[in-house]
Amino acid sequence: MSNASRTRDGLTRRRFVTGMGAGGLLAALPASATPATSIAPGTVPAASSATWNLRVGRRRIEIDRKALHAPCIGGSVPGPILRWREGDDVTLNVTNTLRNEDTSIHWHGIRLPASMDGVPGLSFTGIPPGETFTYRFPVRQGGTYWYHSHSGMQEAQGLYGAIVIDPRRPDPHACARDYVIVLSEWTDVSPMDMINNLKMQDDYYVFRQRTLASLPHEARAAGGVGAALKDRLQWSRMRMAATDISDVTGIIYTYLLNGHAPGMNWSGLFTPGERVRLRFVNAASMTFFDIRIPGLEMLVVQADGNDVEPVPVDEFRIGVAETYDVIVQPRDSRAYTIFAQSEDRTGHARGTLAPRPGMTGPVPPMDPRPVRTMVDMGMGDMKPGQDMKGMEMPGMTEKDAPMDGMDMSDTDHGDMGHMDMDHMDHMDHMDHATPAAPVMEVDDPGPPPINVENQNVAKMPVDRLGSPGDGLEHTGRRVLNYRQLRATRPGTDPRPPSREIILHLTGNMERYIWGFNGRKFSESGPIRLKLGERVRFTLINDTMMEHPIHLHGMWSELENGQGAYRPYKHTLISQPGSRMSYLVTVDAPGMWAYHCHLMLHMELGMFRTVIVA
């Protein structure tokens, strides 16, 4: 906390102007700015530095007949949009007006000193009631990000908001309109009650179980009644439910778009023919969303704040804590529905793009619910329609990928994660020659034991980077997948990794315990990295759940077959039964958090400390 300051007077160098425009979000602006219906250049501070004063307090908010004294900033959920500029030095005075609880703000995906990261116990001690903590750091990046509390599960109750950083370079995808779309959940059930219920019964919130009526459909998909019954028996022996897609579901959640329930119809205006940028932020605590705008093609131009080569899609899945920027160009003078259905199909959020206020578009029906298979447990054959085409192992270049039609289902890929032929002849980031790739050191604890903290081991984990996710494979729509993400510029560090850290994502659904390598946080030591080294992280998902894995303080470069144009991300989705890898340049000293961003998973053990010394 040497670079930070606490004050009790909360002195303000700039006051807030708050306004509710057509965007539906409370925007926090410097005094020189004016509210606007969309994010426009006029909202950007004119000075080379910006000071923001944020007050955290509780306010009674009722949405969809669910009332909650929500912890929030500025009295709104979501909190104010913070708009910065790359190259600015920002100062944020965060005052805690909560009565009996500490608070904090984590600036998700922002590169900054460890002391400013906002994680109590690692970055600082937290912000006690009645006190102000001052965050100060330079803004060294552009793009769409977000902020949230890292204290007492306040994030799950409303303490979150969006960050937009205007890049120093001219935007290659300039649009006439620019809207932030924050997706989240709303419930009057406390996070601790959720944990207690899930500890008592792991499928407590899963109300769409498989029944006798669903058996004929399963038999057709499996190739016969015998195969379908065998699948059910396998799940029964594991004491898991194949329909347990999301631990917490629409049975208690109302899904929000910019703080609006589906019936409230958030609206963003456009003029036919205009290009409109939509900045999607998944600020939910437990929910993945599948997003489409029927009648409009979406051009994905940014992932987790970083530019990617444009990808035209009809739909994309956004995991918890991810951000995606898309561009649409509505040409007809009619209303278009922004439709975000939960992954488990128990509810949806929705908004409207329209040429005039008050218009609504048709809301499409939700897709059929997904059902997990043995592949999702890393235990079975590939799904119908899934093959090895285009698949790669970490370090494999495009020319090394399996040829179309080649059957590699019996090949042991266990050692291929140590290959990095794509980088052998590169120069490192210090511009001196590397005569040979360093010897790869591998930190591999091996498969974790089956015990009270681990219910399963994926014996056949597969590369699922080419899959859009369960429930999206055969919709007839063009759906984004990780393999399509390609950075617009090559990475800044061409060095191969000198070591690999293999982590199994583990859990016990029945006891509702989560962790890495079969251990929860309280039983695990830190992950130690050396400043300046290049490391490969390999994740093997032994569970039936997607896990959004977030490393604080450093970028994660996904090894997805794009060579030197690997996409930079701050949150990576590990699909069930899968193996994936990413590279990290260790360039930020300090203590950092590393965790699953599903709130309840993090709270119940899927968290580690990373120490960079």
- 251/164 same-domain check: no
DSSP state, 268? E
* String of DSSP letters for 537-559: EEEEE-SSS-EEEEESSS-EEE-
Instruction: Give residue 597's pLDDT.
Output: 98
- 560/512 same-domain check: yes
pLDDT at 195 > cutoff 90: yes
State the average pLDDT for the chain.
82
pLDDT at 382 > cutoff 60: no
Confidence of residue 400 (pLDDT cuts 50, 70, 90): very low
- 356/381 same-domain check: no
- 271/356 same-domain check: yes
Minimum mean pLDDT range among 227-236, 264-273, 297-306: 227-236
Confidence of residue 185 (pLDDT cuts 50, 70, 90): very high
Confidence of residue 375 (pLDDT cuts 50, 70, 90): low
- 17/62 same-domain check: yes
307 or 432: which carries more pLDDT confidence? 307
DSSP state, 359? -
Instruction: Give residue 38's pLDDT.
Output: 43
d(CA 103, CA 152): 8
476 or 381: which carries more pLDDT confidence? 476
For 334, residues 6+ apart whose C-beta sits below 8 A from its C-beta are 354, 355, 359, 361
In a domain, 180, yes or no: yes
Q: What is the mean pLDDT of residues 85-107?
A: 97
d(CA 176, CA 547): 36
In a domain, 228, yes or no: no
Q: How far is CA 321 from CA 5, 151, 248, in A?
A: 28, 16, 17
Instruction: Give residue 459's pLDDT.
Output: 86
- 448/485 same-domain check: yes
Q: How far is CA 399 from the centre of its chain?
A: 30
In a domain, 551, yes or no: yes
Please name the residue that has the structure tokens 């500490």. Answer: 102
Beta pairing partners, 342: 289
pTM: 0.82
In a domain, 345, yes or no: yes
d(CA 24, CA 258): 6
In a domain, 271, yes or no: yes
Total domains in the chain come to 3
What length does the chain have? 613
Please list the helix, strand and coil fractions of the chain in percent, rounded to the nearest 5, in that order.
Answer: 10, 35, 55
Q: What is the mean pLDDT of residues 252-265?
A: 97
From 287, 178, 154, 301, select the one nearest 603 (Cα to Cα). 154
Confidence of residue 54 (pLDDT cuts 50, 70, 90): very high
Confidence of residue 50 (pLDDT cuts 50, 70, 90): confident
Confidence of residue 234 (pLDDT cuts 50, 70, 90): low
In a domain, 534, yes or no: yes
Q: What is the mean pLDDT of residues 274-291?
A: 98
Q: What is the mean pLDDT of residues 372-376?
A: 65
Helical axes 225-237 vs 215-222, angle rounded to 10°:
110
- 271/363 same-domain check: yes
In a domain, 104, yes or no: yes
d(CA 116, CA 405): 51
Instruction: Give residue 391's pLDDT.
Output: 31
Residue 306: which region, alpha, beta or left (left: phi > 0; alpha: psi -120 to 50)? beta
400 or 337: which carries more pLDDT confidence? 337
For 238, residues 6+ apart whose C-beta sits below 8 A from its C-beta are 377, 455, 456
Is the alpha carbon torsion for 108, 112, 113, 116 positive or negative? negative
Q: Tell me: the pLDDT tens digits for 70-79?
A: 999 999 999 9
Minimum mean pLDDT range among 310-324, 404-418, 527-541, 558-572: 404-418
CATH number at residue 54: 2.60.40.420
Instruction: Give residue 205's pLDDT.
Output: 85
Beta pairing partners, 584: 535
Instruction: Give residue 510's pLDDT.
Output: 87
- 367/387 same-domain check: no
Instruction: Give residue 456's pLDDT.
Output: 87
Residues 60-93 as b or e (16 or more Cβ within 10 Å = b)? ebebbeeebebbbbbbbbbbbbbbbbebbebbbb
Say how many CA atoms lie within 13 Å of 513 toward its Cβ.
17
Percent of the chain with pLDDT over 90: 68
- 473/589 same-domain check: yes
Is the alpha carbon torsion for 120, 124, 125, 130 positive or negative? negative
Confidence of residue 405 (pLDDT cuts 50, 70, 90): very low
d(CA 255, CA 318): 14
Confidence of residue 156 (pLDDT cuts 50, 70, 90): very high
- 104/160 same-domain check: yes
- 275/353 same-domain check: yes
In a domain, 229, yes or no: no
d(CA 412, CA 414): 6
pLDDT at 100 > cutoff 80: yes
Instruction: Give residue 427's pLDDT.
Output: 30
Among residues 371, 394, 415, which one ends one of the domains?
Answer: 371
pLDDT at 362 > cutoff 50: yes
pLDDT at 361 > cutoff 70: yes
d(CA 227, CA 137): 58
Among residues 315, 350, 371, which one ends one of the domains?
Answer: 371
d(CA 413, CA 463): 10
Q: Tell me: the pLDDT tens digits for 418-470?
A: 333 233 333 333 333 444 556 789 999 889 998 889 888 888 899 999 999 99
SS (H, E, C) 1-69: CCCCEEECCCCCCCCCEEEECCCCCEEEECCCCCCCCCCCHHHCCCCCEEEEEEEEEEEEEEECCEEEE
- Report the SS3 class of residue 366: coil
Domain that holds residue 301: 172-208+243-371
**φ/ψ (deg, to 5) at 191:** -55, -35
Q: What is the mean pLDDT of residues 390-413?
A: 34
Q: Tell me: the pLDDT tens digits for 166-183?
A: 999 888 899 999 999 999
Q: Specify burial of residue 130 (Cβ count, 10 A radius: 0-12, 13-18, 19+).
A: exposed
From 338, 336, 344, 345, select the one nearest 324 (Cα to Cα). 338
d(CA 469, CA 28): 36
Among residues 341, 371, 401, which one ends one of the domains?
Answer: 371
Q: Tell me: the pLDDT tens digits for 493-529?
A: 999 999 999 999 999 988 999 999 999 999 999 999 9
Q: In what order do the strands lie in the sheet with 49-63?
A: 5-7, 132-138, 89-96, 49-63, 66-73
Minimum mean pLDDT range among 108-112, 369-373, 573-577: 369-373
- 367/435 same-domain check: no
CB 438 within 8 A of CB 498: yes
